[in-house]
Amino acid sequence: MTASIWTEPPRLVTPEGVPYETWTEIDGDLGDLPVPLATAIARFRLAFARGDESRVPYWQVPDGVDVIADLPYADDADGDGDADPVRGHRLDLYLPHEAVVRGGHTLPVYVDIHGGGFVYGYKELNRNFCVNLAARGFAVFSLNYRPAPQTDLIGQLRDVNRALAWIRDHRGEYPIAQDGVWLTGDSAGACLAFLTTAIERPSAASVGASAGLSTGLSSVAKSLGITPSGIGVNGAALVSGVYDIARYVPPESGEYGAGVRGGLTGDPQSIMDVLAEPFYGCLRGAGRGVIDTGRIVRSVDLPPIFLNTSSDDFIESETLKLAVMLAEQGVDFELHDWKTAKAETLGHVFPVCMSWLPESQRVLDLIRDFTYARL
């Protein structure tokens, strides 16, 4: 803990004594940062962790679902060959127990990418969502990726890409389908899932042509320099995503915090604004256009997409704008925008962080129906 970040030591455990580091970084990776940036990230993480405290008791794996935890998907061996997997390079696999008993290779696969403003949380945040999805007849891989400031946006996309490559190479070891996966993500994770879909799918211009993979790459894959894993992304289910991130790419000034004022939450010191230089600066070479949502929808052969938000989701408009773009391009999609009644709260990413709610259970059923109808 860096003394210059905290005026006094904060509480870093739940009231029941569960350490926040069970599911997120707090300040252990901030030592080399300028104090203002380290302070902003630490406070953001701490605020989110306190918001998740009450949900910790729900992070359980019930009877009927099996979990294989902490599988390393990247070789993080040091120069002496000693393997010590980076926490951001691990994944879990959730399986319906019946599928394990039956064997075979027919169980459809979802790959879940957690949210957290690109800086907060690990896969444990989404355990209850993944368990509920698995119980509805899916194999669910839940991914870690390195949070900022450990890496930037392209680094996170490379982490997801490496995880998909690992699943591609190892899926034959598990009782799951071998013919592609569906991606799901919430908030920042939905952004990573959407961009990964754009990387993995061919360009719209190459569809129906005889061009091979090398000439069929989407502009996103080419510009970011990420080779698709080739696993096959058959669709996506995106919850309360943030998609309009091109506006956060900083100008050439190179100054930290030089992005758009107001950021994600409207607070001048919101995390999206604070991260402008260290996180989005990597996109200068590729250009803002490469992650422009409209350009992606027009130029990539997108698969079926399920969208979910709510009227009290603070970035509801991001999902609605994406839905309009998908409709204009004739993409197969389904939109669910839940309207809250008076004195009722659903909020941001409610199917993920409060998956026990009746509305969340209905969303999970809808995801199942949408997916199974397109297998």
- DSSP of 345-363: ---TTHHHHTTTSHHHHHH
Q: How far is CA 207 from the centre of its chain?
A: 27
Which pLDDT belongs to residue 288? 64
pLDDT at 320 over 80: yes
Which pLDDT belongs to residue 214? 40
The residue with greater pLDDT, 207 or 49, is 49
% of the chain with per-residue pLDDT over 90? 73
How far is 175 from 40, CA to CA, in rounded Å? Answer: 44
The model's pLDDT over 150-207, given as tens digits with 9 standing for 90+, comes to 999 999 999 999 999 999 999 999 999 999 999 999 999 999 999 999 999 999 886 6
Q: What is the pTM of this model?
A: 0.93
Q: Going by DSSP bridges, is the β-strand pair 333-338/305-310 parallel, antiparallel, or unpaired?
A: parallel
* Alpha helix (H) residue ranges in the chain: 35-52, 97-102, 127-135, 153-170, 188-200, 213-216, 219-224, 271-274, 276-280, 293-299, 316-328, 350-353, 358-372
Which pLDDT belongs to residue 2? 54
Which 8-state DSSP code applies to residue 150?
S
Task: Walk me through the domains of the chain, giving residue ranges and CATH numbers.
Answer: 1-58 (no CATH), 63-372 (3.40.50.1820)
Average of per-residue pLDDT across 95-102: 95
* The two structure tokens encoding residue 160: 């997801």
Average of per-residue pLDDT across 78-101: 83
